[in-house]
Structure 1
Amino acid sequence: MDDVQFQDLKNLLVQRLDFDRNTDMSIKKLSGGAIQENWAILGQKNHENFEIVLRKNSETSVEVSSDREQEYRLLERLHALNICVPQPLLFEKKDNFLNSDFFIMEKISGSAEGHKLVRLKDETLQQKILKDIGQCLADLHQIETDAEIEKILPKPQKETYLSDLIADLYAQLDKLQRHRPVLEFALSWMLNEKPVIDDLVLIHGDYRIGNIMINQDHVSGILDWEFSHWGDRREDIGWFTAKCWRFGQDNQIAGGIGAYKNFMQAYAERTEIYIPEFELKFWHILSHVRWAIIAMQQSNRNQNNTQASLELALTEFLVPQLEKNILDIIGEKE
């Protein structure tokens, strides 16, 4: 963001959010956010420090990611429903000084650094955090129908939900033009092993350590809703507990920070639904296939970027390990 854009942003915040005009304002790009850009802004409002986050499109995107207006409208509705999300404050269409759709939301306190959260030494603290993570997910999954959200995210037919999802993954893999026999085998296996879908609920789509802000011993906010859609609750549960999202703590199945039964007990306290671990085989394979495809899409984004990104370029090197995990799960070695 150059100096002119910075001044235009400051003017916007003064006009729309009542920032104090004659005080300093700082801005810095946040780490993470490999798919979208996030900028932390510190200014003053009513002569007190006020922190916000600006979230905008990156120069390139992942095909299945939602747009910023869709994500903003969803956040507005979820905040109104008391789901643990940052409060959205304003949205701007693309024809602006950043040449991008963007929105601004409150900045919440805490840490979302997965590699640190999974290595906490205090077991009691980990259990408190895991309980809150399970209950926050349960609160989200209580949304089985909502007219406003269904205008933002149309609800699919339950009968064709999984077939359409797998077909879309096939299409994404074909578009990448990579020869990945393990992924093709996994998609074929999924077509033959589709589980019965009981309910469609609102799911986050990327619910994992790293997108969950933790402040001391509780969840202060759930971030990055760009993959949210209607689906089977086990899709979120499988993603959160998949080996690829345990940050090396493979014995801690629930996000790398705790036991699966503790996570699901917390979830069941709100929903009265307990998903046994043996039901997750399909969903863990789905998680690894989906992440492998996204990893290759990220690599393609590096090639299409005007500036090279080492983070995006290296992401594809995750794919062989993800494929090994897939074979271990199908062979019941994991």
Structure 2
Amino acid sequence: MTDIATLLPPLMSGAVGPGTLSGLARLSGGANMESWSFDWAGSGYVLRRAPSAAYMADRPFGHADEAALVMAAHDAGVKAPEVVGVLADGDGMGTGYVMRRVAGEVSPAKILADPPPSLLGDLGRELARIHRIPMDRVPAAIPLMDTREALAELRARFRSYGGDRPVIALAIRWCEDHLPPPADPVLVHGDYRMGNVMVGGAKEGGGLAAVLDWELAHRGDAHEDLAFGCMTVWRFGKLDQPAFGVGSLEDYFAAYEAAGGVKVDYDRFRFWLIYRTLWWALGCLQMGQMWRSGADPTVERVVIGRRTAEQELDLLVLLDAEAPEDERERALPSSPDIAPAPAGEPTNREMVQAVRDWVEGAIKPASQGHAKFEAVVAMNALGIVLRDLDAGVRAEDRALSEALLAGTTTLAEPGLLAKLRRDVLEKCAIDSPKYTALGQARAEWRG
């Protein structure tokens, strides 16, 4: 923070004009990028930058192109932030850019507790505006997605991560078998969901205030953006509201089409809903790889790596309709027995519990801002370990995964769907016990 406080003033003086830096603070959250809020010359700004040079090394475009894209979107009338400066090598702060701060709420929990009446329509309208940005206004570095090649990359990544998750293998094979023909490309935001949109309060007039986080933008199929915010994980517990946790798909699609978006194809939408759920399952696994490589050593990476369990559950919910009816009605096998804890010296479980209690009682209360957020994440990590030590089982199976990838085994195999259902329920109960979809799946599957 001290370095940023020293290095920001020269940048802001050149970009905006004379002023004094105040209120510099690291914002909580932000799974991939650092965000710093500050004031300069009486106005609010946000610095967005990479946590490390290694993080940006394999990205298709850098922050300069991302900033140019955000500026193009802002100029086209999209509610994108206004970029006022881009970091250069001589600035000493790495890569990133500075935007004018937008007033509003970004927390999905707070937004979804009482969403503005206009929000679903705003989301549909704004996405249509993004998709209508002329291609000649999009920076040349923004890549064109070839879905077949992207799917092949997901398969390769799955194998590089161990290739032992049967539900992920099932989803890869389904996507390969249901690949839609190419669509006319539009600018795809790539991360259009709750958590990346800002909603104004009463003072700001309510409704959608800004679309954030453009780092995953590319040229591609409009239905990819349409589906992403409708994934179960991005509805933050609002399972009865399939569009962003805010409303119905029909109302969302109607608002999008009325604002000039492409005609929605439900089969294409389903493909992208499954594809992006698969993509995020592998994205969670990738977080663990980033920690192992040292590219991002934060405890948050480790915890997000275990959120793969949520996506495996969601994938099976989406795909179990492919199984015969008698398999969908089959009873689940029993949960595995838990071995009794040994007596004597403190067990691994007790030692982890002692550390977790110490973080909760001594570290968390004394922390503030991002440090407090990290303490909570550390407690979550230790909670996962405690539950895993109790259970002593996981859901990995490389041989079954290979058979599903090859198509030699399908959900028509007697008992397979029931086994997969039990496995994902047990795994999600360890890694994400508060995940809302877990309770619903238990009820529907009688698990």
Match of 2:85 in 1: 90
Distance 1:211 1:175, change over 3 A: same
Please, which of 109, 117, 134 is the counterpart of residue 115 of structure 1? 109
Q: Distance in 1 between matches of 2:259 and 2:209?
A: 18
Aligned-partner SS, 2:271: helix
Q: Within 1, Cα distance between the matches of 2:154 and 2:24?
A: 38
Partner of residue 43 from structure 1, selected from 33, 40, 46: 40
Q: Distance in 2 between matches of 1:294 and 1:185?
A: 17
Instruction: Write out per-residue CA displacement over residues 99-143 of structure 1, whole angstroms, 9 at most, x where no aligned residue.
Output: x112111111101111221221x6xx2x31111111000111123
What is the deviation of 1:67?
Answer: 2.1
Aligned residue runs from structure 1 range 245-324, under 5 A? 245-271=234-260, 273-275=262-264, 277=266, 279-305=268-294, 308-324=297-313
Report how many aligned residue pairs link the two structures: 317
TM-score w.r.t. structure 1 length?
Answer: 0.87
Distance 1:307 1:316, change over 3 A: closer
Contact 2:55 2:296 in 1 (8 A): no
What letter matches 2:48 in structure 1?
R
Shift, 1:178, TM fit = 5.0
State the distance in 2 between where 1:6 and 1:150 align: 31
Q: Conserved in 1, the CA contact under 8 Å of 2:61 and 2:141? A: no
Match of 2:156 among 163, 166, 171: 171
Q: Give the drift of 1:260.
A: 1.4
Counterpart CA distance in 2 for 1:7 and 1:41 is: 13
CA change 1:306–1:320 in 2 (3 A) is closer
1:72 aligns with 2:57: no
Distance 1:311 1:146, change over 3 A: same
Question: Pairwise mapping of residues 1-334 of structure 1 onto structure 2 (< 5 A)?
Answer: 1-2=1-2, 4-20=3-19, 23=20, 25-44=22-41, 49-59=42-52, 60-61=54-55, 63-64=58-59, 66-98=61-93, 100-120=94-114, 125=116, 127-143=117-133, 145-149=134-138, 151-155=140-144, 161-177=146-162, 179-216=164-201, 217-271=206-260, 273-275=262-264, 277=266, 279-305=268-294, 308-332=297-321
Structure 1 gap ranges (5+): none
Per-residue displacement from partner, 1:216-245 (whole Å, max 9, x unpaired)?
A: 321111100000001111101111111121
Change (3 A) 1:191 1:64: farther
Contact 2:131 / 2:261 at 8 angstroms: preserved in 1? no
Structure 2 contact 290–297 (Cα < 8 Å) conserved: no
Residues 15 and 84 of structure 2 are in contact (CA less than 8 Å); yes or no, is this contact kept in structure 1?
no
Structure 2, unmatched stretches of 5+, are 322-327, 329-440, 442-447
TM-score normalized by structure 2? 0.66
Look at both structures and tell me which one has the larger radius of gyration over its CA atoms.
2
Q: Distance in 2 between matches of 1:64 and 1:183?
A: 24
Give the whole-Å Cα distance in 1 for the aligned partners of 2:228 and 2:121: 17
Q: Residue deviations 1:15-61, cap 9 Å, x none?
A: 331132xx4522111112111111111121xxxx2111111111253
Q: Could you list the per-position Cα deviations for residues 200-221 of structure 1 after superposition, in whole angstroms to 9, with x for gaps in the alignment?
A: 1111000001000111321111
CA distance in 1: counterparts of 2:158 and 2:170, whole angstroms: 12
Contact 1:73–1:152 under 8 Å retained in 2: no
Instruction: Give the match for residue 347 of structure 2.
Output: none
In structure 1, C-alpha distance between the alignment counterparts of 2:246 and 2:74, rounded to whole Å: 27
Report Cα offsets for 1:128-177 as digits up to 9, x if no partner. Answer: 1111111000111123x422415131445xxxx22112112223333434
| Counterpart-to-counterpart distance in 1, 2:266 and 2:137 | 33
Structure with greater strand share of residues: 1
Say what the alpha-carbon RMSD is for the aligned residues.
Answer: 2.3
